[in-house]
Amino acid sequence: MRESETGEIRGLTIFADMDDAAFARLCRAAYVQTFPPQVELFAEGEPSDFLHILVAGQVELCAHWNGRETVMEIVRPVSSFILAATIRDAPFLMSARTVEKSRLILLPSQDVRNVFDTDGAFARALVRELAGCYRGVVKSSKNLKLRNGIERLANYLIRQQDLAGGAPSFVLPVEKRKIAALLGMTPENFSRALRLLGEYGVTNDGMTITIADRKSLVRLAKPVRMIDDPEI
């Protein structure tokens, strides 16, 4: 991997505190790869041979059981994913598929574990990262168990508006059907729920959402820090 490429991930919080030598050991056998849209990167149950870092594009993590499929998470750059499987040398719990053309850096899991075993700074950074990941999933689980479909959608839209900079109009990051699965609902119900949010000032044209009356939407969504604040 060339230096220009390692630079793209050097700033990630999990690498920030480690010294250059350790980082170099991590990147020695790493490689960069660009994938077209809709490519399966790996499947649930496979051994986790590489720690994946998404540099550009978008990747969805999904899960399957008994012929059913759901979306667990949508990964946006720059961030690592499936860190826990790498650390535990355990099979993937989720499958990964590119949503659009994506560039990834792949670090051999064995190298990640070796550096983690010898570099204290890296180990500590991983603790903080994994603690954050854990809390992220707990929040998502609370969201699923405590809210119904419309409430989840309302909160999702508020969050997306913030991510997009807060303007009244913004574009959904992925297909509606994927967002529906992420929120634990069918595409049909997603569509109906979105129309019901018209009562709260939400309109949509294709992938563009406009929130005319955010206060009204917030009154319905009732976002709270212990579910909706990604920083906590």
Under the rule (CB under 8 A), what is the footprint of its own copies?
Answer: 44-45, 63-66, 68, 70, 72, 83-85, 87-88, 90-91, 93-94, 116-117, 120, 123-124, 126-128, 130-135, 137-142, 144-147, 184, 222, 224-227, 232
**Of residues 212 and 226, the one with the C-beta less far from its own copies:** 226
185 binds, among its own copies, DNA, none (CB under 5 to 8 A by kind): DNA
- Phi/psi of residue 167, each to 5°? -65, 155
Token representation of residue 207? 């992938």
Among 180, 218, 176, 173, smallest CA distance to 197 is for: 218
Q: At what angle do helices 20-27 and 3-10 cross, to 10 degrees?
A: 120
d(CA 217, CA 168) in angstroms, rounded, equals 12
Contact predicate 157/198, CB 8 Å: no
Minimum CB separation of residue 206 from its own copies in Å reads 27
In order of 62, 99, 156, 175, the CA distances from 179 in angstroms are 12, 12, 9, 7
- Shortest approach of DNA to residue 93 CB, angstroms? 21
Is 186 an interacting residue with respect to DNA (CB under 7 A)? Answer: yes
Size of the site for DNA (CB under 7 A): 19
Chain residues 117-146 in contact with DNA, contact rule CB under 7 A: none
Report the nearest approach of its own copies to the CB of residue 28 (Å): 21
Contact residues for DNA (CB under 7 A)? 148-150, 175-177, 184-192, 194-195, 204, 206
